[in-house]
Structure formats: structure tokens, C-alpha cells
Structure 1
Amino acid sequence: MTDTSLPATPTGPRLAERLRRHIGVGAALVILIAYLSLTQDNFLRYSNIMNILRTNSVLFVVSTGLTFVIVSRGLDLSVGSMTALGGVLLAALLNAGIPAWPAIGLTVMLCTLLGGLINGGLIAYGGFNFFVVTLAMLQLLRGAALVMSNGIPESTFGWPAVQWIGDGQIAGFPVPVLIAILTGLIGYAVMRWTKFGRSVYAVGGNETAAGLAGIDVRRVRFAVYAIAALCAGIAAVMLTGRLTSSQPVSGAAGLELSAAAAVLLGGASFAGGAGTVAGTAIGVLFLAVLANGITLAGVPSYWQGIATGLVLIAAIALDRLRKT
């Protein structure tokens, strides 16, 4: 009889392989931190470190969700637009008289449903190409955000609960950073120690073999896009709270590319079957420290986009080198 049970550990890379995937960006991060520590007096100040963590907490939450998708050999280009739409939805619900906490819950739930039913449904059950579907959703969701808001930011200033999520503190520690850490820990635990996490690695590594092993491939694919949308919904609340308004035009612009770069830098592969949330955290930290260094050096902020693009190219090249 053939044993179709899943292995006791993830089918992703073993410890030595994970270390090999992380050592490059980890070393680059250490070198970058050392360089900025020597050249920028303000870099190691507590206020600057907290600023780095707080401003990039949204990116890490989105990147955590995207890790599931990329490990399963997929890609979601719509997470940035989903985050922007989530902010518009939250502001609309609040201004319609719905109390803050129910509005927050509804926003996250609606984002999850949109991502799961449309992205997950079309890709997993409709057989559509993930690139085509999520690229279309990138435009559709951004357009929906503009239509719903008439392109005008809606204030959420009068709702302390929303502001607390985006810019509050617990014992002097930023709430959005705590949310990001909690999201990362849950994501890591799910991928590392659950049957579903092992299934994600298996589907990304070899979809045919995963199906023969009894894994419901379509259900796994559906779930990872729902998880990505869930994280985008959480990020939407965090971003709207920090900015005290929805941002239908500029909100989360380029977030999907920064998240993809972070996941790839962290050791994931577009070929699927490899990647960890811990590695993604390293990738996010590298992008965050790089952006902060550019700011401290007095370089115009628009150069950050060029830097992110170059890092994304480097991450893709690194991914190809890993496979050779």
C-alpha cells in the first residue's frame, strides 16, 4: 500500500538549506546596519529604530500573507490595491455610523472574502492564470477605491480605536509593531507546524505529487489567496489608523512589489516550495533599513522607488542563482 500521509516536518527547505537561503541577505543587512551606524549619527537612536519598525509594520503584515502565496507557487499583485480599498471601506463604514470595532472587523472580513472568492476562486477553481487574475484585480480594486471615495481621502480622525491600531502604544511600544510581530508569529507557526503549512510547501514544490498524496490542491490555493487578502485587510486598518484617513490614490502604492521583493529576499522562490516567514522578516528589515538610510542621507524620497526596483531585480537574480 502507498503511504499518502504528509511528512512530520514541512517539505520546504531543511535547516541547512534555510540558512543558505538567508545568509546572503542577512549578511547584507548586517553590513548595511554597520555602515549606517558609522555614517549616520541618528541611525541607532531609539526613536529612529522605533520609526523604522512602525512605518514598515504594514509592509511586514502584507508580506507575511504574500509568503503563503509565493511558497505555493503563486503571486498576488493585488495586495496593495486591496489595502487601499480596505482603507476606503473602513472610512465609509465609520462615516455611516458603524462603531469602530465592528467596522474594523467588517473591513478585514470583506477584504478576506474579496480575495478569497475572486482571486482564490478564479485561480484555484476556475483554472485562471494567477498573474492575469491578480493583475486585473490590482486595477479593479484600485478603481473601486477611487469610485467609492471619488478620489478624495476620508478622515478617520474622530475614531480613537482606529488611531490606536495605527499609531498607539502599549507600555511605550508601538501597537502596529506588536500587531506585525503577532501576525508574523502566527504565520510562522502555521507554516512550520501545521498540516496546512506542510500542504502549502507540498503544493508549491510539486503540485502533481501533492495531489497524489491526498492534498486538496485547489483548497490550498484558495486558502493562500484568502490569507493574503486577510493580511491586506489588517494592513489597511493599520495604515488608515496611522494616516488618520483613507488614501484611495496614493495609499499602499507599490506595496505589492515591495512585499514581493521582501519575500524573495528572504529566501522564497517563484518556483515555489521554499520560503519562511522568518526569512520574509529579514527581507522586510533590509528594505526598511535601506529606505531609512536613504532618508537620513538626505536623498530625495523618490529615489526609494528606484532602490526598491533594483533590490527586486537583485532578488529575482538571487532566486535564479539559487536554482543553478
Structure 2
Amino acid sequence: MTSPTTSTPAESTAGSFRHMSLASVGGQNLSLIVALGVVLVLFGSLNENYLSWTNMQVIAEAATITGLLAVVQTVVIICGGLDISVGSQAGLASVISAMAFTSAGANPGVGIIAAIGVGAVVGIINGFIIVYGRVNPTIATLAGLAAYKGVAQLLSNGRAQGFVLNDPIFVFLGRGKIVGLPVMIWILIVAAIAVHILLKYTDIGRNIYAIGGNDTAARLAGISINKYLIAVYALIGMVAAIAGILLTARTGSGQPVSGSEGLELKAITAAALGGCALKGGKGGIGGTLLAVALLGALENGLTVQGINTFWQNVAQGTLLVAAVVIQQRRSGERAVGLPA
């Protein structure tokens, strides 16, 4: 008869430490941290300049626009929705900001306010179509992806509009620094903190999780689901507009397509990799930002190594599928088409 095994104090301490680490960081986030570390070490060993402070800033700055869109994509996914049109919204806002800037006699305030206003209107339109048209969010925003891109191209005749590099405000947004960090990165940090506080520490955030987790129970609890959905999509529109303004500031002109195409895939991939359940009710800003960093580091590493940029799309698609597969396995749901 074997005697029961007992753990030593050292083993108990190690087990407690692992448990506390997982509890504080989260298994999903810990996996992302490990993956990010692997990517940094791999490309750092291949190119001595990859891990330089300058290149780290390049990675962070390049990922800022994706990060902004991923943060609000996280909110809408938690709420049980999806927005595939964020890239087109950013492109439309970019064009509007530059055209309004030029029309108002090089007034940056007019350009910025006009872009954010258009972003809010576009977001509300998406929300109304989904809520009162009873259209699936994926279909509604897929239509918006094409429509808003078309509007941006019609307004600009498919060409870059305006020139903002002579304006100090746009130059500051696109190239300025505060305490050694680019302004664009600070904008992402502020937006991420604000949304994190909204989700985790307010009744609004708790209601958003409740709607995504079980909309029927949320409705019976007295939560106005329609108002929340419209407000969430309006928020997406405004943040997408800010991303479009930063795109204008970076490139020096309003871009109807260039720079914004494909942003929706990156934003959704980052949210899914960060732990958002695509059925709603689960997710957080911390995981999303880690996923944005991972995608940015991977994209920059492939570029530095001179690998065909088409492989970046392959990598993004693969990561999105992997994230969804992992979610399905963890949820314990029956695979589609297979016996229980």
C-alpha cells in the first residue's frame, strides 16, 4: 500500500506563486506575453537593430492606429456585436479631416471636429441599422465597409486630399513627442485607460458585459439594450475618426484607402487574440493591447527581414483562426458538424 504523497514547502510555495501569477495576469495574457517574448528574441537575434529603442518606438507608433480600433472593437465584441467597417470609417474620417481643414482656410480645429462629427454619425447609422433594421452586426458593418469606403473615394476622387504638414497641430499629432514618447502613443494610452476604467469600474461597463453575456437576462434586469448598442457603435465611430485624423497627420494628407485598408482585420484579430469571446460577454483591454503589440512586433520583424508583405496577411489570418479555435476548445462547445 502506497503512502500518500505530500508536497514540500518549496513545492507549495512554487504552486502558490504560479496560481497567483495566473490569477493576476490571466492565462490568456500570459500566453501572449510569452509569444511576444519569443517574437522579440527571434527577430532580435536575426537583426541587431530590431530591439533598439528607435525601432521599438517605430513598432509602437505603427501599431497605434490599429490599437485604437482594437480597443473599441473589444468593447463592441464584449457587447455581443462586431464592426467590420472600422477601417473604412477611419479612411472616411481621414478624407473629411483634410478636406475640412483646407476648406476652412487651414484650420485644424475645423478639420478635427468635422471628422469626429462624421465618425459619430456613421457609428449611429450602424447602430440604428443593427437595432431597428434588425440586421446582423456582421452583415450591417460589412455593408458599411463597402459604403464608407465608396463615400471616401467619391469625395476625394480616389486621391489623397489636402496637405497638413505645414500645420503645427497636425505635425504635433503625427510627429510630436511628450516625455520622449510620440504623441500618437500617448493618445492610445489615454484611450485604453479610459475604456478600461469604463468597462471595469462603472455600471455602464458592467451592463455592457451583461448584454454580451446574456441579452435576455440583461433586458429583464431593465437594461436598455438598444440604447447601449447605439452608444457603443457611436463610440466606435468617434474613435475610428480619431484614428483617421492620426492617419492624416502621419501621412500629411487625407487618405481614402491607403493606410486604412485592412485595419478591420487587424483590430478583430487583436481583440480575439486578446481573449474576447466573439459571442460576447468576455474580454479586456489589457489582453487586446498585448495582442496589438504582438501583431506589431511580428509585422515589423517580417518587414525588417525583407519577407514579402503578403505573408503578413497570411500570418494575421492564421492568428485569427488560431484564436477562435482556442476559444472554442476552452468553451467546451461541440464542433460544428461533428457528433456530440
Query: Is residue 99–residue 111 contact of structure 2 (8 Å, CA) maintained in 1?
Result: no
Distance (Å, rounded) in 1 between the aligned partners of 2:188 and 2:268: 17
1:125 paired to 2:146: no
Alignment counterpart, residue 83 of structure 2, candidates 76, 88, 103: 76
Q: What is the CA-CA distance between 1:17 and the residue it aligns to?
A: 9.6
Query: Is residue 166–residue 237 contact of structure 1 (8 Å, CA) maintained in 2?
Result: no
Corresponding residue number in structure 2 for 1:103: 111
Q: What is the CA-CA distance between 1:214 and the residue it aligns to?
A: 1.2
Greater relative CO (CA pairs within 8 A, separation 6+): 1
Query: Is residue 66–residue 76 contact of structure 1 (8 Å, CA) maintained in 2?
Result: yes
Distance (Å, rounded) in 2 between the aligned partners of 1:135 and 1:235: 19
Corresponding residue number in structure 2 for 1:180: 188
Corresponding residue number in structure 2 for 1:256: 264
Q: Which moved more, 1:84-93 or 1:125-134?
A: 125-134
Distance (Å, rounded) in 1 between the aligned partners of 2:316 and 2:46: 21
Gap runs ≥5 in structure 1: 1-14
Aligned in 2, Cα 1:172/1:24: closer, same or farther, shift over 3 Å? closer
Distance (Å, rounded) in 2 between the aligned partners of 1:228 and 1:54: 20
Distance (Å, rounded) in 2 between the aligned partners of 1:165 and 1:249: 20
TM-score by length of 1: 0.92
Provide the alpha-carbon RMSD of the alignment.
Answer: 1.5
| Cα deviation digits, residues 2-35 of structure 1 (max 9, x gap) | xxxxxxxxxxxxx849712323222211222222
1:134 paired to 2:136: no
Corresponding residue number in structure 2 for 1:269: 277
Corresponding residue number in structure 2 for 1:40: 47
Alignment counterpart, residue 163 of structure 1, candidates 167, 171, 174: 171
1:223 paired to 2:231: yes
| Cα deviation digits, residues 64-93 of structure 1 (max 9, x gap) | 111111111111000000000000101110
Corresponding residue number in structure 1 for 2:152: 145
Q: Which moved more, 1:42-51 or 1:296-305?
A: 296-305
Corresponding residue number in structure 1 for 2:56: 49
Alignment counterpart, residue 67 of structure 1, candidates 56, 70, 74: 74
Q: What is the CA-CA distance between 1:51 and the residue it aligns to?
A: 0.4
Distance (Å, rounded) in 1 between the aligned partners of 2:214 and 2:25: 19
Corresponding residue number in structure 1 for 2:15: none
- Corresponding letter in the other structure for 1:236: G
Corresponding residue number in structure 1 for 2:301: 293
Q: Which moved more, 1:202-211 or 1:30-39?
A: 30-39
Query: Is residue 70–residue 269 contact of structure 1 (8 Å, CA) maintained in 2?
Result: yes
Distance (Å, rounded) in 2 between the aligned partners of 1:306 and 1:108: 33
Q: What is the CA-CA distance between 1:106 and the residue it aligns to?
A: 2.2
- Corresponding letter in the other structure for 1:43: Y
Q: What is the CA-CA distance between 1:323 and the residue it aligns to?
A: 1.1
Distance (Å, rounded) in 2 between the aligned partners of 1:64 and 1:24: 19
Distance (Å, rounded) in 1 between the aligned partners of 2:33 and 2:209: 23
Distance (Å, rounded) in 1 between the aligned partners of 2:184 and 2:223: 35
Distance (Å, rounded) in 1 between the aligned partners of 2:63 and 2:56: 11
Give structure 1 regions of 4+ aligned residues with deviation exceeding 6 angstroms. Answer: none
Distance (Å, rounded) in 2 between the aligned partners of 1:136 and 1:298: 35
| Cα deviation digits, residues 76-117 of structure 1 (max 9, x gap) | 00000000000010111011025102321221122012112x
Alignment counterpart, residue 279 of structure 1, candidates 282, 287, 291: 287
Corresponding residue number in structure 1 for 2:245: 237
Corresponding residue number in structure 1 for 2:4: none
Aligned in 2, Cα 1:224/1:205: closer, same or farther, shift over 3 Å? same
- Corresponding letter in the other structure for 2:69: V
Distance (Å, rounded) in 2 between the aligned partners of 1:54 and 1:18: 25
Percent identical among aligned pairs is: 35
Query: Is residue 68–residue 227 contact of structure 1 (8 Å, CA) maintained in 2?
Result: no
1:193 paired to 2:196: no
Distance (Å, rounded) in 1 between the aligned partners of 2:331 and 2:30: 16
